[in-house]
Amino acid sequence: MATELEDQVNLLEKQLKSLQGKQPKDQLSIIVFSGDLDKVLASMIIATGARAMDMEVKMFFTFWGTTMLRDKNKSPKGKDFMSKMFGFMLPKGSSKLKLSKLNMCGMGTEMLKGLMKKKNVASLEEMIATAAELGVEICICQMSMDLMGFKKEEMMDYPNLKYVGVGTYLSDAEESKIQLFI
Amino acid sequence: MTTEELKALKSDKVIDARGTACPGPLLAAKKGVADLQPGQIMEILSSDKGTTNDIPRWCRKMEYEYFGCIDEDGIYRLFLKK
């Protein structure tokens, strides 16, 4: 009887330990799929806000989102024709992103930027700098990089920039309390 | 706390986040609270109305004691204890 109880306690302890290991962390993971200025802005506000709340923040930039992380001052050599074309057609960095609505050939975007300045909303560039300072982790989808022909040499300087696959995202998302797709 | 009680509080630190928009005040509060000792009182000045909802929730999450807010013509003074 006593050993039976002991066995049961041991089993319960083991189960409890494994359950505790599966608890989501105080962590936020965001997929930034969009390369639209408004959507990227929203994702950066959420990311920096979450750091203020002491949450770990992991951002995964994929597809059009990767264009935000290009550096407008960097031009890597040795690209093939298609990569050059894509590189030319897609925005080169955060300052070149456009609004998803009311862009009006760039006029709307410039107007919004003016309004943001007037109303003391931090610019996207300032937000990226704040995110770096606060330790927001940024990962870039390697497949998107290959697809669009982007090279690591043309991406912006950001602390601990990582190039990852879907597995990294999924394992981080599984551990996160909040997951967003923007 | 009533407005009078809040006004009587002696803040150990004042963070001025007036003029900044979301998430500015929150980030300023986070920065300001870093070198605050437990038990010390901090006051946050903000002109962003959203802050009056954000800071109480932030305090709950961070386990700081939130005292309340005084509205002085669109400038919000929020008080908390670390």
| ipTM higher than threshold 0.85 | no
Q: How far apart are CA A20 and CA A14, in angstroms?
A: 10
Domain ranges of chain B: 3-81
Q: How far apart are CA B82 and CA B80, in angstroms?
A: 7
pLDDT (tens digit, 9 = 90+) per residue, B44-74?
Answer: 999 999 999 999 999 999 999 999 999 999 8
Answer yes or no: do B19 and A120 touch at CB < 8 A: yes
The pLDDT of residue B3: 86
Radius of gyration of chain A (CA): 21
Distance from CA of A63 to the nearest CA of B (A): 26
Interface of B with A (CB under 8 A): 19-24, 26-27, 29-30, 58, 61-62
Q: Is the separation of the CB atoms in B66 and B59 below 8 Å?
A: yes
Chain B, nearest residue to A26 by Cα: B61
A39/A20: higher pLDDT: A39
Answer yes or no: do B27 and A119 touch at CB < 8 A: no
Q: Is the separation of the CB atoms in A120 and B20 below 8 Å?
A: yes
The pLDDT of residue A76: 87
Q: How far apart are CA B74 and CA A179, in angstroms?
A: 35
> B3-81 adopts what CATH topology?
Translation Initiation Factor IF3 (3.30.110)
Distance from CA of B79 to the nearest CA of A (A): 17
Q: Sheet containing A137-141: which strands, arranged edge to edge?
A: A162-164, A137-141, A56-61, A25-32, A176-181
Percent with pLDDT over 70 in chain A: 100
The pLDDT of residue B2: 87
pLDDT (tens digit, 9 = 90+) per residue, A76-133?
Answer: 888 899 899 898 999 999 999 999 999 999 999 999 999 999 998 999 999 999 999 9
Degrees, nearest 5: CA angle A21-A24-A27: 130
Tokens of A156: 């912006």
Answer yes or no: do A119 and B61 touch at CB < 8 A: no
Answer yes or no: do B21 and A120 touch at CB < 8 A: yes
The pLDDT of residue A21: 78
CATH top class, domain A26-181: alpha beta
Q: Name the band, by pLDDT with cuts 50, 70 and 90, for residue B79.
A: very high
Residue A1 pLDDT exceeds 80: no
Distance from CA of A46 to the nearest CA of B (A): 8
Interacting residues of A62 by C-beta distance below 8 A, sequence separation 6+: A31, A32, A33, A140, A141, A143, A144
